[in-house]
Structure 1
Amino acid sequence: MPWQRELVKPLCPMKKTNLPFPFPINASGKPLHKEKVLEPGLRARVLVVLAMSAVPAFAYLDRTEPPLILAHRAGAFVVPENTIEGWAESRIRYQPDVWELDVHLTEDDSLVVIHDEEIDRTTNGTGLVREMAFVQIRSLDAGFWFTPDSGGTYPWRGKGLRIPTLGQVFDSFPRDFFNIEIKDSLTYAAARLVGIIREKRMQNQVVVVSEYTEVLECFREFDPSVATAATPDEIRKFVIWGKLGLGFLARTPMDAVQVPEYSGSIHVVTPGFVKRCHRKGIQVHVWTVNDAESIKRLLEMGADGVITDRPDVADRVAKTMGFREFPRNTP
């Protein structure tokens, strides 16, 4: 609701608060009433539990073994992106290690999985996600525009594909790992995401990222036990300090960096960059890499993962390089 969204901004981050989180929220990410705030003794015990939950490192990074194939929007070139059916098919065919997905707030504060701020590109509807209620979004055909042959056919039209909520995705794939990008610039989106992650007990299976520094900083304040990737501002500073030979000065609150190999004329992902990240215990995930030659080069360089629209290509490369096994009946 609008009042809840407005509440978050002035309270996040709350450096001076004595609460275990920037403000008390329930499993839905909504503020609790004053009388439900934890007593001081219980707050202390909660803080101890949180501190213990973050050691050693983060379970997401401990439980995933590089190099990782992160299927971008489920593998947007080969399956209908960001749909339950797309993830299911990609999972059977290519076995990606991590699902990369994006979340947006609807008008009625549902957190839905869709890349664009508009629904036009992937559905048979038009409009902004933030201006539509979930019931409207849920009625649209999320497989309408998917075509595997450049417009020759649209095999998923009318098959019942829908834009899901993040909670529905977690319910459908409770054992999988997720790379979640918060697309909203509202810090309230971070609160909603924390609530859903806690409700579904997915803290050890997600890494969270956002291009909005304030949003990601708020997420870290809300739940420091969940792994996060760097913001663009953190990446810029890390790269610049590193190229000046002063990498030790860079602040590194992140657990992973997710970067393109090149940014304009700047060669970001180099052997030196990968080594600097690894010295600080930071994983390197490179986006968006869709050709076999680039995937092979980056994995040889030591990248911990590739974010790709082509999990089929990445799977073949990883098998050829010995990172994955071929099925017994496959030469």
Structure 2
Amino acid sequence: MLPRDMFLNGLKPTLHIAHRGGALLAPENTLEAFQRAVHTHRTDMLELDVHLSRDGEVIVAHDDTLERCTDGEGPLAALTLAELRKLDAGHRFTPDEGRTFPFRGQGVRLPTLREVLRAFPALRLNVELKPDVPGAEAVLARLLTEEGALGRVCLGSEQDVIAERLYEKLPDACHFYPRDALAAFVLALKAGEAPPEDARYSVLDMPLYFGEVRLVDDVLLKAAAERGKWINVWTVDDPAEMDRLIQEGIGGIMTDRPDLLRQRMDAPGKPG
């Protein structure tokens, strides 16, 4: 069985997906956030982002700079893993608009992807490669192969050029649609046309809204199902929208509030 098929095999709507581990509950993209999502909120999948350190380690982080989430400064890629280990990844997190910083000074660090894979050896991951650095896809591919994780990871990038390089490096793995390919799929349906066929991508990771327009509708759900595509929507923190998506049978919901999503999914009478 190909890694792509292994990733999709047995998936049933609606998946509980912790976006960056649940970025409104704990410092995003850290083991602390991931552990809470998995052990407390029983998440089905973790969504995370990766960069390369100066010495070529795959680091879990969203931004290419350090200021927003750590006590460091400057580009993440300018530091080695050893230097990144010294940063406080809980320094900036506040649940109450700056009144308190409960994770500051508590030893929260930027994790490597290898650490996350080993911490959750049976869990599916949605992994976005962030930097447009030729060769980064080879480093990521080698890591996933070494860890035997290709069957439980769906890969991709918002940028089409990065997504294409990832596919070229790992053609049998599961890949999600990048921005332009996703837009072509959705806009064709909105225009009443058949979407372009693209066998490279199996998963539509997409926003629920574009401006005021709700992108998920019966037409999209039907078209995706007919083509064997899976849909995950981001980032949904409103309980009413969660309820509606669950009723619609959406594939997965990415949320910064895995606590609320778990409550909605466990509510009496809820499908999934």
Question: TM-score when scaled to structure 2?
Answer: 0.94
SS at match of 2:135: helix
Q: Deviations over 1:107-149 (max 9, x none)?
A: 2221100111111111111111122222111110111122223
Counterpart residue identity of residue 322, structure 1: K
Contact 1:260–1:288 (Cα < 8 Å) also in 2 = yes
Identify the match of residue 159 of structure 2 among 180, 198, 212: 212
CA shift at 1:240, angstroms? 2.2
Does 2:139 correspond to 1:192?
A: yes
Counterpart residue identity of residue 157, structure 1: R
Bigger-Rg structure (1/2): 1
Give the fraction of aligned pairs with identical amino acids, expressed as a percent. Answer: 33
Does 2:2 correspond to 1:53?
A: yes
Task: Give me the whole-angstrom Cα distance separating, in 2, the residues matched to 1:243 and 1:105.
Answer: 37
Identify the match of residue 297 of structure 1 among 235, 241, 244: 244
Contact 1:234–1:252 (Cα < 8 Å) also in 2 = no
Relative to 1, partners in 2 of residues 1:135 and 1:311: Cα closer, same or farther, differing over 3 Å? Answer: same
Contact 1:259–1:269 (Cα < 8 Å) also in 2 = no
Greater CA drift, 64-73 or 284-293: 64-73
Identify the match of residue 33 of structure 2 among 80, 86, 89: 86
Task: Give me the whole-angstrom Cα distance separating, in 1, the residues matched to 2:11 and 2:93.
Answer: 30
Task: Give me the whole-angstrom Cα distance separating, in 2, the residues matched to 1:240 and 1:153.
Answer: 43
CA shift at 1:63, angstroms? 3.8
Instruction: List runs of 5+ in structure 1 lacking aligned partners.
Output: 1-51, 325-331
Task: Give me the whole-angstrom Cα distance separating, in 1, the residues matched to 2:248 and 2:50.
Answer: 31
Q: Deviations over 1:228-256 (max 9, x none)?
A: 11011111111222223321544343111
Task: Give me the whole-angstrom Cα distance separating, in 2, the residues matched to 1:262 and 1:64.
Answer: 24
Find the counterpart in structure 2 of residue 43 from structure 1. none
Task: Give me the whole-angstrom Cα distance separating, in 1, the residues matched to 2:198 and 2:173.
Answer: 18
CA shift at 1:219, angstroms? 1.3
Relative to 1, partners in 2 of residues 1:301 and 1:322: Cα closer, same or farther, differing over 3 Å? Answer: closer
Residue pairs, 1:1-331, within 5 angstroms: 52-53=1-2, 58-247=5-194, 249-320=196-267, 321-323=269-271
What is the number of residues matched between the two proteins?
271
Q: Which runs of 4+ in 1 moved over 4 A?
A: none
Contact 2:239–2:261 (Cα < 8 Å) also in 1 = yes
Relative to 1, partners in 2 of residues 1:150 and 1:199: Cα closer, same or farther, differing over 3 Å? Answer: same
Contact 1:203–1:225 (Cα < 8 Å) also in 2 = no
Instruction: List runs of 5+ in structure 2 lacking aligned partners.
Output: none
Contact 1:79–1:90 (Cα < 8 Å) also in 2 = no
Find the counterpart in structure 2 of residue 5 from structure 1. none
